[in-house]
Chain A
């Protein structure tokens, strides 16, 4: 059974703290993505990576960075958390040339910044 695992389901952090959200996939997928999900706004792409050590900005990269040191792991970093980054964060992966755009999602990490 394919799996995308996000390390933390719930986090509470204070403004200014550095936050790491970890994501691991076991499908040997080349592509990995970080989205944030807010009510009524759907899923908005923060960053994606199509190979180890490669990263591309999505639609809302400001305030975030990412790291892809290994193929199976894609980390989202908030250098200095702010209250407007309170959200649900979803990691996803996909393989190349599948003929589909199917993304496999993790269960999400709900971050609250106080």
Chain B
């Protein structure tokens, strides 16, 4: 979930289990959401996105769920693998600003135990 201050929330899962990473977003006017994955020493990489007119979107092994009522977003990773170990960020975007400006959450570290 979202973090406050300098502490990064950590989720530890066993290899093969499913992972759920949660995110509370701030702006009810946001209409577009993205999940990014950041591996150690690298920049964030796009995983999956969802528009506010949807409540679920599936990719390869990943699913994003959006609950606009409570302003909550989650990323589900099926059959988690060691390569999934990374920091995951959610980001929100309002459609009325230029340049696709995103607001990022604090991030959650996913650790996959072999």
Contact = CB atoms under 8 A, between A and B. Distances in A.
Interface stretch (B5-13, B53-61, B66-74): B5-13
Interface in B85-112: 89, 91, 93, 98-107
Nearest to A38: B6
Contacts of B41: 107-108
Interface string B1-31: 0011111100000000000000000000000
Nearest to A95: B100
A107 B42 CA distance: 5
B52 interface: no
Interface in A71-114: 90, 92, 94, 96, 98, 100-108
B83 interface: no
Contacts of A94: 99-100
Given A40-B3, A41-B106, A102 B42 contact: no
A107 B43 contact: yes
A92 B43 CA distance: 9
Contact of A43 (B32, B44, B93): B44
B46 A102 contact: yes
A49 B106 CA distance: 23
Given A31-B99, A101-B32, A101-B91, A42 B44 contact: no
B5 to A, nearest CB: 6
Contact of A101 (B7, B44, B102): B102
B34 interface: yes
A31 B89 contact: no
A81 B43 CA distance: 23
A50 B98 contact: yes
Given A50-B99, A90-B43, A101 B49 contact: yes
A42 B107 contact: yes
11 contacts: A31-B99, A42-B106, A45-B101, A45-B103, A50-B98, A56-B99, A102-B100, A103-B46, A103-B100, A106-B43, A108-B43
Given A30-B99, A90-B44, A101-B49, 6 more contacts: A38-B6, A40-B7, A45-B103, A48-B101, A56-B99, A100-B32
